[in-house]
Amino acid sequence: MDQLIDWITQPWPWYVAGPLIGLTVPILLLIGNKTFGISSSLRHVCAMCVPAGIPFFTYNWKKEMWNILFVIGVLIGGFIATNFLANPNDFVLADQTRADLTALGITDFSGLMPSDIFQWDNLFTAKGLLFFVFGGFLVGFGTRYAGGCTSGHAIMGISSLQWPSLLATTFFMIGGFVMTHLLMEPLMKLVGY
C-alpha cells in the first residue's frame, strides 16, 4: 500500500497524464454522447438555483446532472490530493520564471499559487479588485463569449475536429502570450507590485 501511495504522490510524466486526459473525450462520447467541459457546469448550477425565467437558464438542467457530479468529483479529488496525497518534495519552478516573478515583487515560491498575490489580505485592495474581481469577470465573460472554457475547447473541441474550438484555443494562447510578455509587467507596476 505504501508503494502505491508513493507512486500516486509523485508527478506523473506527460506521456501518462496526457493520454489519460485525452481518453476522457472518447469515453464520454462512447458512454452517452457527452461532451467534456467544466465551465458549462456553472450554467447548470445557475439554472438549478436561479429559476428566474432567464432564457439562457431555461432548459432541462437535470439532463446535465452528470456534469455537475463530474465537477464535484474534481473538487473532491483535488481536496484528497492536496490534503492526503501531496508530493512531499519542494515545488520546482524554472529559474527564469522565478527570476521574472521576483522582478515583479513575488518572492514566496513555496506552493502552486504565490501567496504574495493569493491571500485574504489582498482581496479588498486595488490589487485584489484587479486580479480577482476584474480578472474573474474577464475569464467568465470570455468563457461564455467563446462558448466554453479552455479545457472544453482544447481537449473536447479540437479532438472532435471543431473549427470554432481550434480558433478559440488559438486565441486563448495568443491572449496568454500577450498578457505574459507585454501586459503583465505594466499592470503589476500599476497596482503596486
pLDDT tens string 90-116: 677 889 888 888 887 788 877 777 777
Q: Kindly state the cell numbers that stand for 192.
A: 503596486
CA 162-172-98 angle, to 5 degrees, is 140
Q: Which residue has the higher pLDDT, 68 or 127?
A: 68
What is residue 174's predicted lDDT score, i.e. its pLDDT?
94
> Phi/psi zone of residue 114: left (φ > 0), alpha (ψ -120 to 50 degrees), beta?
beta
> Grid coordinates representing 75?
473538487
Residue 76 confidence (pLDDT): 95
When pLDDT is averaged across residues 30-49 and rounded to a whole number, the result is 81
Q: So what's the pLDDT on residue 30?
A: 87
Task: Convert the pLDDT of each residue in 131-153 to its tens digit.
Answer: 788 888 888 888 877 788 887 88
Which one is predicted more confidently, 193 or 43?
Answer: 43
Grid coordinates in use for 111?
Answer: 506552493
Least confident of 65-74, 145-154, 165-174: 145-154
